Structure 1
Amino acid sequence: MTSLKEHGTGNLFVKEMETILDTCKVGLTPVDEVWPNLYIGNVAIAQNRNALQKMGFTHVLNAAHSKQGCIGDQAFYGKDIQYYGIPAEDSLNFDLSVQFRPAADFIHKGLKKKNGKVFVHCIMGISRSSTLVLAYLMLYHHLSLRDAILKVIQSRFIYPNRNFLRQLGDLDNQLKRKRRMCLLL
């Protein structure tokens, strides 16, 4: 697996993605729909079970499940909301890429359910949660990272940290290589 850093394009790539993120014209709100029935939001909404139920959420993905973040569990959300927690750190050292596939699978299964509505959150709903949603759009809807970012920033302010942007860039390259290989077969 070749990373963007190995190609010497890591910082240039990250700057390019940050330039796209900087074009976002919407303000930060507690929760926003970024894809049909897929929402990104903050911990305040996540910890308000009544609000989640009123909004019709069937699945909650917590990208800040840790002592420093938001500790949620299935018991808190009850039988009507499926819960999945990822103890991710919003740091320049954390490898969130190992969670791309499991998180995308959880989101996809939630959206496939009858009346499925998925809420993905971290603390602010800016970096960890948006990274996982971008990975989902890339894995399940075959969007490039650039296109996924452009889609999400139409309705929500996001800003994955530089480390997460590099990891998403690596995923983007892997998926592009895989698509090229499939075309050659």
Structure 2
Amino acid sequence: MSRTSKPYPSEVATLKNIVTKDWSLPNTSVDEVYPGIFVGNAIIAKDIRALAHLGVTHIINAACGVDSIRFVDTSELFYISRNYKCKFLGIPAMDVPTYQLNRYFNETSAFIDDAVQSGGKCLIHCIQGISRSATLVIAYLMMKKELTVYDALSLVRNKRKIWPNDGFLVQLLELGSYHSRMRIAYQQNNYSLR
């Protein structure tokens, strides 16, 4: 199947209905979408005082790069030079449907989980805080909290106005399908051992 084809047309439509209901641009720079997990935009990512006030200990820049039109120019050095102590992970993702953001799902989920498990707080941001960053948080909720794609998307959408692009929605559906197959295989394996 090509990267541009839509293998889940009805499922993507269902997810888009969740996203687009009463949609507008977020009216805040950051929202806590799950305890200790914040989704935000480039403005909050560069506001050291606000990050300190929120208690952010871990930062994922899901739009890491120097081109200010498509990326947010922050890095570990950005925070060190401003005397802000945090763990940092930069992902050079583009917000286009053909971009394979799923190659970062494991790494970012482990990073977010490290923050939460250690009692810290994680900011996941991109330029607007609606597509790349939201997709990574939804993947985390699916992988680490075992939520379905629909439940994870709804949970994040109820806390922040988000709009992952269609390609990212397909990747989340593929992640959900994979986890569903793994759960079934695990259950069948456990049943056969009895």
Task: Settle same-fold status: TM greater than 0.5.
Answer: yes
Deviation at 1:156, TM superposition (A): 0.5
Deviation at 1:113, TM superposition (A): 1.3
Comparing 67-76 with 132-141, greater Cα deviation is found at 67-76
Aligned counterparts of 1:93 and 1:41: Cα–Cα separation in 2: 23
Q: What is the TM-score normalised by the length of structure 1?
A: 0.91
- Aligned residue for 2:158, secondary structure, equals coil
| 1:138 is the counterpart of 2:142 | yes
Query: Hey, what does 1:13 align to over in structure 2?
Result: 11
Deviation at 1:41, TM superposition (A): 0.5
Residue among 104, 108, 112 paired with 1:103: 108
- Aligned residue for 1:87, secondary structure, equals coil
- Closer, same or farther: CA 92–3 of 1 in aligned 2, 3 Å: closer
Alignment of 1:29-178 (within 5 A): 29-68=28-67, 69-78=71-80, 80-114=85-119, 116-178=120-182
- Closer, same or farther: CA 5–70 of 1 in aligned 2, 3 Å: closer
Which structure: larger Rg?
A: 2
Aligned counterparts of 1:16 and 1:82: Cα–Cα separation in 2: 36
Aligned counterparts of 1:98 and 1:21: Cα–Cα separation in 2: 23
Aligned counterparts of 1:179 and 1:4: Cα–Cα separation in 2: 26
Aligned counterparts of 1:58 and 1:149: Cα–Cα separation in 2: 24
Which letter maps to 1:97? N
- Aligned residue for 2:92, secondary structure, equals coil
Structure 1: 5+ residue stretches without partners:
none
What RMSD in Å do the two structures reach over aligned CA positions?
2.1
Aligned counterparts of 1:65 and 1:147: Cα–Cα separation in 2: 28
**Identity percentage over the alignment?**
35
Q: What is the TM-score normalised by the length of structure 2?
A: 0.87
Q: Could you list the structure 1 runs, at least 4 aligned residues long, displaced by more than 3 angstroms after superposition.
A: 2-6, 24-27
Q: Deviations over 1:12-44 (max 9, x none)?
A: 221111011123578612100000010000000
